[in-house]
């Protein structure tokens, strides 16, 4: 229902209540809500609860379900205590669980200085396993479930005894953990429970582990389909530390159309993991990334990886998973791309990119390019502070040090980007991204330098 219709109905209902109160002040207002169809009443409450200040105080027993449904529709919990409260609430009032459509349980990770990966917070072991099992069985209408920062929660969801016959409508599952009890967290054997989630379309797995702590299962059997419905798969962690298992996990679904691989290891090129795809011709969206600090992936590896997926419509490449070589851009030209994204620190050649979007041999289907490879951030300005930065010795004026200037490259310069934007404006290709903002940041920085010079005179 449109916002206009909801507002109109709300005004009509308010008028009914007003005149009804004039006729009989003792009548209960809930009687007049009951005159409307339930879906109309729900639309009214959905609109009201979407405001910045939703109605939290109970109105009446009759209206309570309409009031609570939008409040519990999308839940975000950030502690074990909140989760225990939810377990208790759904046990006492089973209808509350039916209102929950999206549930995100985000337990904070602990970041220890000089350690490469975060560690999970201490688990107070509440709620208990029995409480969790009761909650899982109560969430019959949930479509999105994500947990982060608790291996007990993550592994509970993956346990047959805990979640058998649960989540009949689950569409998206996201698990983020260190999985310390799994020697090989990418072994498909840990995720066989996915086959029981009949509506599951997207699975997101993030493993926060040091690569040295992962011991690949060398006896991993060939991939067995976990679910025929899975279309989207996102894997994050030291993927290439257990490349064989990761390939089998990728190959466990025969219907993947969207694949995201973010490797935090760099033991081998992340592109090799695409060998696990059983039907690479079905893949429409691909994202490849690797943590900073590892050398670039060879252009030949990138070209070979792209040639495996002839029907790609969207590509996102970050870090060392890109190239400035003409052969790389020729491989892009051969794909039916609609969107092309370069992530942070991706190597980009503006000359090659220009040839991709102009001329008689330009890409015919490309409509959007996102350039997030360069970042700039405006810091404290002289106008905000009232004076320039005095420096550590307070004897010279300068621009404030919290500015973050863009790191241009020989193949991706500020001047070249401005020229590229001018050219592409007439080619029907939309360009956005942090690199465009970086140009504005650098121009603002130059103006700050001029102000500093004025103060120094």
Give the Å distances, CA to CA, from 299 to 253, 347, 349, 431: 28, 11, 13, 24
pLDDT tens digit sequence for 171-216: 999 999 999 999 999 999 999 999 999 999 999 999 999 999 999 8
Output the six-digit token pair for 271.
Answer: 């592109």
Largest separation between any pair of C-alpha atoms in the chain: 82
Output the six-digit token pair for 327.
Answer: 């052969």
Q: 316 and 286 in contact (C-beta within 8 Å)?
A: yes
pTM score, two decimals?
0.85
Query: Residue 66: which of 90, 37, 89, 92 has the closest Cα?
Result: 37
| CB-side neighbour CA atoms (13 Å) of 132 | 21
Residue 442, class by beta-carbon neighbours within 10 Å (0-12 exposed, 13-18 middle, 19+ buried)?
middle
Q: Where are the domains positioned within the chain?
A: 1-68, 312-457
Give the Å distances, CA to CA, from 223 to 192, 220, 226, 248, 261: 11, 8, 9, 5, 18
CB atoms within 10 A of CB 417: 22
Residues 333, 337, 339, 343: is their CA dihedral positive or negative? negative
B/e letters for 356-381, b = 16+ CB within 10 Å, e = fewer, are bbbeeeebeebeebbbbbbbbeebeb
The fraction of the chain above a pLDDT of 90, given in percent, is: 66
> How many degrees, rounded to 5, is the angle at CA 226 between CA 221 and CA 231?
125
How would you write the pLDDT of the chain (457 residues) with one tens digit per residue?
A: 444 444 444 444 444 444 344 444 444 444 555 555 656 555 555 565 555 555 555 555 555 565 666 778 889 999 999 999 999 999 998 888 998 999 999 998 887 665 678 889 899 999 999 999 999 999 999 999 999 999 999 999 999 989 888 999 999 999 999 999 999 999 999 999 999 999 999 999 999 999 999 998 776 555 566 666 899 999 999 999 999 999 999 998 889 999 999 999 878 899 999 999 989 999 999 999 988 777 788 899 999 999 999 999 999 999 889 999 999 999 999 999 999 999 999 999 999 999 999 988 899 999 999 999 999 999 999 999 999 998 777 778 999 999 999 999 999 999 999 999 999 988 989 999 999 999 999 999 999 999 999 887 6
pLDDT tens digit sequence for 338-363: 999 999 999 999 999 999 999 888 99
pLDDT tens digit sequence for 376-393: 999 999 999 999 998 777
């Amino acid at each position: 229902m449109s916002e206009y219709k909801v507002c109109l109905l709300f005004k009509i209902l308010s008028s009914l209540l007003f005149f009804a109160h004039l006729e009989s002040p003792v009548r209960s207002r809930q009687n007049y809500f009951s005159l409307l169809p339930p879906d109309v009443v729900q639309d009214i409450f959905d609109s009201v609860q979407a405001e910045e200040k939703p109605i939290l105080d109970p109105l009446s027993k009759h209206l309570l379900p309409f009031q609570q449904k939008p409040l519990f529709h999308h839940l975000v919990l950030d502690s074990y205590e909140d989760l225990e409260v939810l377990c208790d609430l759904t046990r006492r009032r089973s209808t509350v669980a039916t209102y929950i459509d999206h549930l995100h349980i985000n337990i904070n990770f602990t970041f220890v200085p000089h350690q490469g990966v975060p560690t999970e917070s201490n688990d107070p072991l509440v709620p208990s396993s029995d409480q969790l099992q009761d909650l899982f069985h109560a969430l019959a209408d949930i479509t999105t479930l994500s947990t982060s920062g608790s291996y007990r929660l993550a592994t509970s969801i993956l346990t047959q005894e805990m979640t058998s016959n649960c989540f009949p409508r689950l569409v998206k599952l996201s698990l983020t953990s260190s999985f310390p009890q799994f020697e090989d967290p990418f072994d498909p054997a840990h995720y066989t429970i996915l086959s029981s989630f009949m509506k599951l379309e997207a699975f997101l797995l993030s493993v926060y582990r040091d690569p040295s702590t992962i011991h690949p299962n060398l006896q991993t059997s060939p991939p067995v389909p976990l679910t025929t419905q899975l279309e989207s798969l996102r894997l994050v962690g030291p993927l290439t530390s257990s490349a064989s298992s990761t390939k089998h996990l990728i190959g466990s679904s025969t219907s993947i159309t969207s694949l995201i691989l973010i490797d935090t290891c760099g033991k081998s090129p992340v592109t090799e993991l695409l060998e696990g795809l059983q039907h690479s011709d079905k893949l429409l969206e691909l994202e490849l990334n690797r943590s900073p600090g590892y050398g670039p992936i060879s252009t030949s590896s990138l070209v070979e990886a792209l040639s495996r997926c002839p029907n790609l419509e969207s590509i996102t490449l970050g870090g060392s998973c890109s190239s400035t070589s003409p052969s790389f851009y020729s491989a892009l030209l051969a794909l039916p791309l609609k969107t092309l994204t370069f992530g942070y620190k991706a190597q980009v050649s503006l000359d090659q990119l220009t040839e991709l979007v102009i001329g008689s041999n330009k890409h015919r289907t490309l409509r959007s390019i996102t350039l997030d490879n360069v970042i700039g951030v405006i810091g404290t300005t002289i106008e905000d502070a009232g004076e320039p930065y005095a420096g550590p010795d307070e004897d010279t004026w300068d621009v404030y040090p919290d500015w973050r200037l863009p790191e241009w490259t020989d193949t991706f310069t500020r001047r070249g980007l401005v020229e590229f934007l001018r050219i592409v404006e007439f080619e029907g290709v939309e360009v956005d991204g942090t690199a465009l903002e970086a140009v504005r940041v650098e121009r603002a920085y130059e103006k700050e330098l001029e102000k500093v010079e004025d103060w120094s005179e």
